[in-house]
A and B are shown apart, each in its own frame.
Chain A
């Protein structure tokens, strides 16, 4: 990789990237905990997730400031410009993902505990797929890898079909046992949050391809 004649320019771009990766890792951690508490409910953890979301918001603000300063200082072109554009876009997606993780924690606070006859862990399994695909999207950004980025949309197709299955399963559960209707409804909301994170991971991977190829990929 060639370096800029002005070495501070490289430092600006590197700092933008490392801040974004750090924000991504923070989201990954939040998501990991949020998914875990869908299987074993943990109120303290749920509260912690909600509190930590502020940190992700602050990270987004910092990236926006860094990007603005770099744009005005360097007036970048070509791949440099795309790097900055995608950092703005991805940071805003990560902020959304952070919100979804926080929403999941909020739902858990609402249900407080799982009914004894609620035995499925399909939402947790859906979460695992979503987490794995989100991590891939993040790696594709970190490693600037088109190869990894291309896997993400394909995996999201699987996530969507698992989400559908999960949805039907819960409908059946609710019909069979109206007492757990309230709980299942909250779990379905959680499933929807996870499905959204799946979509957003796909958008991240498309931004990565845009950065590398210079062309927008159709949604």
Chain B
């Protein structure tokens, strides 16, 4: 069965002022699969991720050329509202960043501003379902009004995932979501990624080769602003086609 393409970048070039950060990226991201972006620091993988929900718009010197299609719609079209786009394409960051509000409010905030719940009950239900999907509900159900920041790092990260899920996105972008977490919290997030991929398209930037190998279906390797290789994760990590990929994933120089 052929996979449906959810996101497609075409001839994508990104500049930070004079500096070219991404060069001619053509990448297809399959729907309801996990795609991991790997590569050394400064290779452009996070820049690429941020292009997918126009997070780069807020950086003044950043210029994006080319096209990114989400379901055949070019997200860089002039009349497209980036706020609505970001409801469809949620993001989870490296450092958990809950709002300085209660656990409930953290999750309820998005549905409120997007008018996704018509009543208090509906909102309560939406928060509960989102927390459940993020695998956090059982741990926080008795202290839902406590501040989000009172949770542990791993719980905070799952709260951020619940917050992203609450607005019913189609895509979840994750920028090194486990780099600030201990191995147990990491395992819980990885388990969650696996579960979420049944309903959402997930793109994850990670520095851990093993994590990419564990969680993703497709892996893309970036190097100095170029996409060097993309393929099925098991192929990229067992028999990469490109020498550069092989050297990177096995930690070689020379």
* Chain A residues near B (Cβ < 8 Å): 2-6, 9, 75-82, 214-215
| CB-defined contacts of B254 to chain A, threshold 8 Å | 2-3
Report the Cα distance A2→B254, complex, angstroms: 5
Give me 24 A-to-B residue pairs in the complex whose CB atoms sit less than 8 angstroms apart, sorted by A's number: A2-B252, A2-B253, A2-B254, A3-B252, A3-B253, A3-B254, A4-B250, A5-B251, A5-B252, A5-B253, A75-B209, A75-B210, A77-B213, A77-B237, A77-B238, A77-B249, A78-B237, A78-B239, A78-B240, A78-B250, A80-B250, A81-B238, A214-B239, A215-B239
Shortest beta-carbon distance from A61 to chain B in Å: 27
Residues in A with CB closer than 8 Å to B252 are 2-5
Among all A-B residue pairs, the 7 with the closest Cβ atoms: A214-B239, A2-B254, A2-B252, A77-B249, A80-B250, A77-B237, A5-B251
Q: Please determine whether A78 and B249 come into contact, CB atoms closer than 8 angstroms.
A: yes
Contacts of A3 in B (CB 8 A): 252-254
Greatest chain B CB density within 10 A among A2, A3, A80, A82 is at A2
Q: What is the CA–CA distance of A78 and B242 in the complex, to the nearest angstrom? A: 12
The reply to whether B247 and A2 contact each other, CB–CB distance below 8 Å, is yes
Measured CB to CB, the closest approach of chain B to A142, in angstroms, equals: 21
List chain B residues, Cβ under 8 A from A5. Answer: 251-253
Chain B residues near A6 (CB-CB < 8 A): 251
Task: Please classify how large the interface on chain B is, using the bins under 10, 10 to 19, 20 to 34, 35 or more.
Answer: 10 to 19
CA distance A214 to B249 in the complex (A): 15
Give the docked Cα–Cα distance between A116 and B240 (Å). Answer: 62
Q: Are A78 and B251 in contact (CB under 8 A)?
A: no
Separation in Å of the B134 CB from the closest CB of chain A?
Answer: 28
Smallest CB–CB gap between A72 and chain B, Å? 12
- Any A CB within 8 A of the CB of B246: yes
Contact with A along B45-67 (1 / 0, CB 8 A): 00000000000000000000000
Q: Looking at the complex, which one of A9, A81, A214, A215 makes contact with B251 (CB distance below 8 Å)?
A: A9
Report whether A77 and B250 are in contact in the complex, using a CB–CB cutoff of 8 Å.
yes
Residues of B within 8 A of A77 (CB): 209, 213, 237-238, 249-250
B46 to chain A, nearest CB (A): 22
Assembled-state Cα–Cα distance A79/B237 (Å): 9
Shortest Cβ distance from B127 into chain A, in angstroms?
A: 38
Measured in the bound complex, the distance between the Cα atoms of B104 and A219 in whole Å is 60
Q: Inside 8 A of A214's CB, which chain B residues have their CB?
A: 238-239
Q: Report the minimal beta-carbon distance from B67 to chain A, rounded to whole angstroms.
A: 33
Determine the residue in chain B with the shortest Cβ distance to A6.
B251
Among B209, B210, B252, B253, chain A packs the most CB atoms within 10 A around the CB of B252
Q: CA–CA, A76 to B209, complex, Å?
A: 10
A81–B252 Cα distance when bound, in Å, is 14
Look across to chain B and name the residue whose beta carbon is closest to the beta carbon of A80. B250
Residues of A within 8 A of B253 (CB): 2-5
With contacts A2-B253, A3-B253 taken as known, whether A79 is within 8 angstroms of B246 at the C-beta atoms is: yes
Q: How far is the CB of A207 from chain B (nearest CB, A)?
A: 15
Given contacts A214-B238, A214-B239, contact A79 B251 (CB under 8 A): no
Q: Which of B214-254 contact A (CB under 8 A)?
A: 237-240, 246-247, 249-254
Q: Give the chain A neighbours of B210 by CB distance below 8 A.
A: 75
Chain B: minimal CB distance from A82 (Å): 8
Per-residue CB proximity of B115-159 to A under 8 Å, as 1/0? 000000000000000000000000000000000000000000000
Residue of B nearest to A81 (CB): B238
Q: A78 — which chain B residues lie within 8 A by C-beta? A: 237-240, 246, 249-250
Chain A residue contacts of B209, Cβ below 8 A? 75, 77
Q: Which residues of A contact B247 (CB under 8 A)?
A: 2
